[in-house]
Chain A
Amino acid sequence: MRADTGDLLQGTLAILILKALLTGPAHGYAVARWVEATTDDVLRIEEGSLYPALRRLEDNGWVTSEWGLSENNRRARFYTITRTGRAHLRAEATVWFRYAGAVSQVLRSSPALS
């Protein structure tokens, strides 16, 4: 199964990006790759959604950006999660877990799906 980020809710993409940045500053490509690798390519992040989402996060003050050198010595823009970004991620994750739990609960209730 595969889901494109085009199908993901905007808020969801934001959580994914913020989570990806928890390990440290990263450029856009690294964020996309991390999400793909972590979900075994189930979630694919479209470039058309990734960069606008990063701008929105920056506008909200949840991430900051800075030009730096990549691992192969290319000029790349690195994003860093801020303190308010972390707080936001925590709050959103709580909501997400409750939501997902609730949906799972509904789906697991009898009668069974098949």
Chain B
Amino acid sequence: MSDKSPRGSPTWRRYVRFWGPNVDADVDDELGFHFDMRVRDYEARGLTAEDARRAAAERFGDIQGIGGALRAHDWRRERGRRRKEYMSDLLNDLRYGLRSFGRAPAFTAVALLTLALGIGATTAIFSVVNTVILRPLPYPEADRIVQVWMDNRRTGLKEDLHSYPNFADLRDQNRVFSEMATYFTSGYNLTTGCRDGECEPQRVRALFSSPDLFRVLRVTPILGRAFTAEEDAPGRDGVVLIGHGLWTRLFARDRNVIGRAVRLNGRERTVIGVLPQSFAFPNRDTEIWVPMALDNDDRQARSSFGFYAVARLESGVEFSRAVSDLDAIGRRLEQQYPTNRDLGVHLVPLPEQVVGRTLRTSLWVMMAAVAAVLLIACANVANLLLSRAAVREREISVRVALGAARTRLIRQLLTESVLLSMLGATLGVAVAWGGLRVLTRIAPTDIPRLDQVRIDPLALAVTLGLAIVTGLTFGLAPALQSSRGAVASVLREAMRGGTGGRRAQRMRRALVAGQIALVVVLLTGAGLLIRSFMHLQRVDLGFRPDHLLTMRFSMPSAKYPTPQATAAFQSTLLERTRQIPGVQGAALVSDIFLSATPNSTNFSIDGRAMTPDERNIEVPVDAVSADYFRVMGIPLRRGRTFTAADNLDAPPVVIVNETMARRLWPNEDALGKRIRYGGEQSTAPLMTIVGVVADMRRTGFDAPVRYETFRPNTQRVLNYLLLVLRTAGDPLTMVAPVRAEFRSVDPEQPVFEIASMDQLLSSMVAQRRFSMALLGIFAALALVLGVVGVYGVTSYLVTQRTREVGVRLALGAQPSEVVGLVVRQGMTVAAIGLVGGLVGALIAGRFMTGLLYGVSPHDFATLAGVTAVIALATLAANWVPALRAAHVDPLTALRSD
């Protein structure tokens, strides 16, 4: 009988079945058998072999088609069967995995916690970095928008403001921008109408812009329209665009808001549009946008600086080309106008502008820190898995010996590793979620877009991936080991309690050393930030910051048209607030602290030529009431403070700070000298210096003291001032009575920016505190994980060597010698890690320079402290398991296997 099937497929195909069911061969066999039987029947009826075959073939019909249909059907069935088998195996593996986790609860708890913290922290921080730094701003092609600054070489300030004519020149002469707009911001008193004589005045931040601003940003209102060029003129500018937040708060998202009137600083304006929720230009605080509508005089004022500028690069223009084009224009303008001397142009891409360099640096430092925490966590998990693998070697060898397929075994371990990673990741998501909630609550408010931070799926995927790779790499070790060596030898080694191989031991020690190195780097970073912060806290600001309350108010010129009316309100206000019980002193000041770009001017000295350096000095223009220095606790060094007699009718007077008096008149008395604002050609009134006050740090803790001049608020009458109160008790308890006093003087007068000095100072260092706290937490986390790692490995190695220890003890070794042996080995590894970490910390410190204050990145005290902490922690982590080993009973130890 021929073995050849009708399709003539070769015999060898049958042996394919050896590696599992072979559908194609089975179909061929079945049909072939049928065919052969038919041939045999025909032969039995007397046909010749050849005729029988022909008849059978004829009878059979389309054998190819039948075979094809059967094969397709059988393959479908086979795949279904395999899937089912796979799923049931998987289910078994999972069940087995969970059971084995249950049998090792300590291992499981530590591994899961480690993974959860690592994955959670990394995901949370990356989510913040992604939202704040990496995600593009909510404007189309936002990376083509640039902030255009004036590079002020007189003051060294690279990001200074333009004058309007300067902006207009840049806009008209550049060949690189498609649009360019200017703007400035200011606070506004907003009233939407009074009910029963009760007005709800509120303070909103407004942006005044040229009409091109929304074209530069390419943003269109979600309701209504943006300004037109016609509306950018005095008298025609009675329009306002409102932000999504204000629309929600004041108008409950009423779509009929267009055309409604609002009162801004006493003047009616019509709402013409609502901007999208994502729109936050130049920041989240700004809620209304109005046309700048400068008159002709303002458009010509070349020495009046105070205008921001933004522009959009024309398509195809590189940033570097824009820089050189604008530089050239800046140089031309310098030659053309004397007022432009030493003024250049400085361009910053808008995304970089929005997230400043310091914040960017500190976020990247955080990112690096959590990445280190994640690595430490992975090393921990790796070590745990290696240790566990050694423990399970016997179990696995037994299973191999009992006939478990190696592939099934590997799959089992693989399932367990992935299961562990997945469980860890699930906990990690919870950690990330909780962490983000805490983070956004304690973070300083000036981090842009922090309110939009959500758990980032990409970050989660990447960290989870890393965790899984770790799990697979180290979880599979025992399976691969058992498939390398002969089962019997593995069994034998397991019976003797082998140390899991020299190679595994080296790997374990390398992981521990690496962990310690990372912990050292993190601790050093955190230490440097903590020391910087302590330095900052110790900086003498030059005044007594306790028991001070500040609040701002603004007096619309429509309501207080003359300086006399304004001054009268201010003196009444001071008089009445001073009498509130619990208030020890009240004063007015234009600004306590200064921004990086304060309203400032140059000055000249009467009867003396200015040196070129002196000509470039700018002083802020401040007004203070008579009691200001006393209330703030700023010592008067010479002369007198202001009095009520220094009014508009009296000769102009000024008080300067110590730095200014000492530098301008080094060997003379500054008292009686006369200065005027403006350059040497200025016609501003001369002011006599009547007093010298001590220096105060007004631009923040870490900025140098500059020259200061103070005018009496009765001579320099301003309508936008801070009220400062020195209180007997907690300053914040005085808020309500002071507000009531304000209302009784003027019910339409909003009070805003209410804060105690403590709050103000604390918000000034909020970002630093935030970075310090976060890095501190990560460093502590890293330290704990690192110690757990060291402890785990030492305990494991000690347990593995119980027998050896037993022999040594039996032969008369003292327990202390055994302790010494174990600790010495552990500390060698720790020392290697420590040295590596110190080198790493010195390198990493360089990237942190921008975040430090008063501390070198190579600060000896910090490095010494970290070394001590690491030494103690690793010593303890080695000592405890060593002690346990030394007190084992020799007999038990010898019998242990």
Q: Which residues of A contact B (CB under 8 A)?
A: 27-29, 32-33, 46-48, 51-52, 55, 59, 67, 70, 72, 74-77
Contacts and interface: CB of A to CB of B under 8 A. Distances in A.
Contacts of B77: 59
Interface stretch (B57-65, B201-209, B379-387): B57-65
Contacts of A33: 41
Interface stretch (B24-32, B823-831, B889-897): B24-32
Contacts of A48: 61-62, 65-66
Interface in B508-540: none
Nearest to A65: B30
Given A29-B37, A72-B1, A46 B61 contact: yes
Contact of B66 (A51, A67, A74, A75): A51
Given A29-B38, A72-B1, A51 B60 contact: no
A74 B70 contact: no
A76 B31 contact: no
26 contacts: A27-B30, A27-B34, A29-B34, A29-B37, A29-B38, A33-B41, A47-B34, A47-B66, A48-B61, A48-B62, A48-B65, A48-B66, A51-B30, A51-B66, A51-B70, A52-B66, A55-B73, A55-B74, A70-B33, A72-B1, A74-B33, A75-B29, A75-B33, A76-B29, A76-B33, A77-B26
Contacts of A27: 30, 33-34
B748 interface: no
Interface of B: 1, 26, 29-31, 33-34, 36-38, 40-41, 60-63, 65-66, 69-70, 73-74, 77
Contacts of B1: 72, 74
A72 B41 CA distance: 13
Contacts of A28: 30, 34
Nearest to A70: B33
Q: Which of A59, A70, A74 has the most CB of B within 10 A?
A: A74
A72 B26 CA distance: 18
Given A29-B38, A74-B1, A52 B61 contact: no
A37 B63 CA distance: 23
Contacts of B60: 47
Main SS class of interface, B: helix
Contacts of B70: 51-52, 55
Contacts of B34: 27-29, 32, 47
A75 B25 CA distance: 12
A67 B40 CA distance: 21
Nearest to A55: B73
Contacts of B36: 74
Given A75-B29, A76-B30, 15 more contacts: A29-B34, A29-B37, A33-B41, A46-B61, A47-B31, A47-B63, A48-B66, A51-B31, A52-B70, A52-B73, A55-B70, A55-B73, A67-B26, A70-B37, A77-B30
Contacts of B40: 72
Contacts of A47: 31, 34, 60-61, 63, 66
A8 B1 CA distance: 34
A65 to B, nearest CB: 9
A59 B61 CA distance: 25
B67 to A, nearest CB: 9
Nearest to A30: B37
Contacts of B30: 27-28, 51, 76-77
Contacts of B61: 46-48
Contacts of A74: 1, 33, 36
A55 B70 CA distance: 8
Q: Which 10 A-B pairs have the closest CB atoms?
A: A29-B37, A29-B34, A76-B33, A77-B30, A48-B66, A55-B73, A47-B60, A74-B33, A51-B70, A28-B34
B31 to A, nearest CB: 7
Nearest to B33: A76
A59 B48 CA distance: 40
A27 B38 CA distance: 13
Nearest to A59: B77
A59 B81 CA distance: 12
Nearest to B67: A51
B169 to A, nearest CB: 85
A11 B37 CA distance: 26
From B37, B69, B73, residue with most partner A Cβ within 10 Å: B37
A47 B74 CA distance: 17
